[in-house]
Structure 1
Amino acid sequence: MISKERNMSQQQQKGFSLIELMIVIAIIGILAALALPTYQTYAKKAKFSEVVMATTAVKSAIDICYQTKGSMSACKPHDDTTGGSKSVLAAQANAAVSGAHVDTVTAEADLTTTPASISITAIGEDPVDGETYILLGTDGGAGSLSWDLDVTNSTCLAAGLCDERG
């Protein structure tokens, strides 16, 4: 009789109860609900980094041209046919478009401002939903350009895909 009671008590102690399993599943569900949006944001940021990197080739070409020729007007690949003072640096920009998540990269010089400025605009495609990354270059003195993120017009800031450091 004593051995029978021992066998029953040993059988009752095996495994987890249903409540314990439900608690573990609830905890896993809560953790997954918290982690999934964070993961999606990081995945989108990683894909948007291709858009940011697409601007570097254009930026480097403009920097080199500006350092060697000394002015933005000398770096235009062609004159604007409308008679204005803006020119699209299409040759360098179109050559720089690469990456699975990059739609377009354009560069435009505004020679009417003092000092003259230049902007590089990169637009992402799905899954970064057409978010824009815009760099503004201004004469930094001593033959170099100073590049900053256009915090007013870059939509990547509001979407949390880039920060003000560019």
Structure 2
Amino acid sequence: MKAQMQKGFTLIELMIVVAIIGILAAVAIPQYSNYTSRARAASALAELASIKTAINMCVAETGKLTGCSGGTNGIPAVADFTVTKNVTELTSITNGVVTTKTGATDASGTNLTMLLTPTQDADAANMTWTTTGTICDGGTRGFKDGQGGCAP
């Protein structure tokens, strides 16, 4: 009689494959979470572009930031803003300064805050927007230094 060959994998081989997949998942899942948080931070800034434009128009018409608040001079009221998964709360728009809570989160799951502050030099035609708040975290789960209006 002929000896039959065994087919298939041994238990040790299967356990090694499962261990390798577990190690890859342990590295990949946190990196993916960081990536999605940074993407939400960038999307939140993009979704606020219309409010920034309305504030720019207000300054162009009135000549000053004072009075360019939510619900006045063509700037939408805070209550009229539709929240999304990227901008979870529009806290305030006061004298051109926009305060929000974003869908980007830190490692503990707390939403990152973003404060957009406009400045305009006396003879400048353009307005400069500075981003501050917990969203400027060096690029871990928000903006890197020098990106998104965060200080370099």
Aligned with 2:63 (options 41, 47, 70): 70
Offset from partner CA, 1:83-123 (integer Å, 9 cap, x none):
xxxxxx121351344313511242222xxxxxxxx422111
Partner secondary structure for residue 144 of structure 1: coil
Alignment of 1:6-155 (within 5 A): 8=4, 11-12=5-6, 14-73=7-66, 76=67, 89-91=69-71, 92=75, 93-94=77-78, 95-100=80-85, 101-109=87-95, 118-124=96-102, 129-140=110-121, 141-150=123-132, 154-155=133-134
Please state which structure has a larger fraction of its residues in helix: 1
What number of residue pairs does the alignment pair up? 135
Q: Structure 1 segments of 4 or more deviating over 4 A?
A: 125-128
Q: After the TM superposition, which of the residue ranges 141-150 and 45-54 deviates more from structure 2?
A: 45-54
Amino acid at match of 1:29: G
Q: Structure 1 residue 31: deviation in Å?
A: 0.4
TM-score using structure 1 length:
0.66
Amino acid at match of 1:155: T
Partner secondary structure for residue 46 of structure 2: helix
Gaps of 5+ in 2: none
Superposition RMSD in Å: 2.6
Distance 1:54 1:142 in 2: 25
Larger radius of gyration: 1
Aligned twin of 1:84: none
Q: Structure 1 residue 136: deviation in Å?
A: 1.8
Check the 8 A contact 2:118/2:130 in 1, yes or no: yes
Partner secondary structure for residue 53 of structure 1: helix
Q: Structure 1 residue 125: deviation in Å?
A: 6.1
Offset from partner CA, 1:46-97 (integer Å, 9 cap, x none):
3444533342222110112223443223xx25xxxxxxxxxxx121351344
Distance 1:96 1:162 in 2: 23
Partner secondary structure for residue 132 of structure 1: strand
Offset from partner CA, 1:120-139 (integer Å, 9 cap, x none):
21113696633211122111
